[in-house]
Structures are given as C-alpha cells and as structure tokens.
Amino acid sequence: MRSEAHPDDQPSTGNPSDPAGRAYRAKGPTLGKGKACESCRSRRVRCNGVRPTCSNCDQAEKDCVYVDKPRPPASTAALSTKLAGLEERYRMLSEMAAAKTGQEGGRIVVN
C-alpha cells in the first residue's frame, strides 16, 4: 500500500500562495510591537528583549538601548470621544434641517 504525503505534513513557507494555505508562525517567543532595542530595530533582526542587554547586542558588544515610547490613549476612550463629537454634530444638523423645513413649509431645500 502506497502512502501519499499529506499537504499538512509539509513545512509552511510563509508565502500567501503556499498550497497548504497556513499562516507563517514565528520560531520561538516574540516581543510585542515596538519592544525591540534600537540596535535590533535598526538592523531589522529579532530581539529577545532581555534587559539591560539583549543577546544580539551582547554578542556584537554594542550598547543596548531601549526607548520606552508613551502609549497612545486607549482606543475605547478615543472612540467614545469621537462618537460624542459625531452625535453632537448629528444633533446640530438635525436641528438645522428641522428649522429649514419649518421655514420652507415642509420641504427641505438643498443648495
């Protein structure tokens, strides 16, 4: 009996046109976005994030510098603020349309 290789038995290439259609998976643990040291970031290599000196900087005998950037406001708070502004704008436009309708005898006139 002949056994055929199943496509899932093949390693993924990470290429979107990969017939297996699997997503690329990074090897080992990864850091969050923006957590790499400046040296690794500029060289575009994977940083393990060890402080005070990551393994790449230790091996290359470079200064390992981490820049802690301020976090943007929480997205729910930003969206709530934007929603409140849009609701206020809608209320004002509705009042303007109602006032215009009253002046024109029930018709809305668009210029």
- Name, in order, each residue with C-beta under 8 angstroms of 49's C-beta and a sequence gap of 6 or more: 31, 35, 36, 37
- The pLDDT of residue 17 is 53
- What's the average model confidence in pLDDT over 17-30? 60
Residues 77-106 pLDDT 10s: 888 999 999 999 999 999 999 888 776 555
Instruction: Check whether 71 has a pLDDT greater than 80.
Output: no
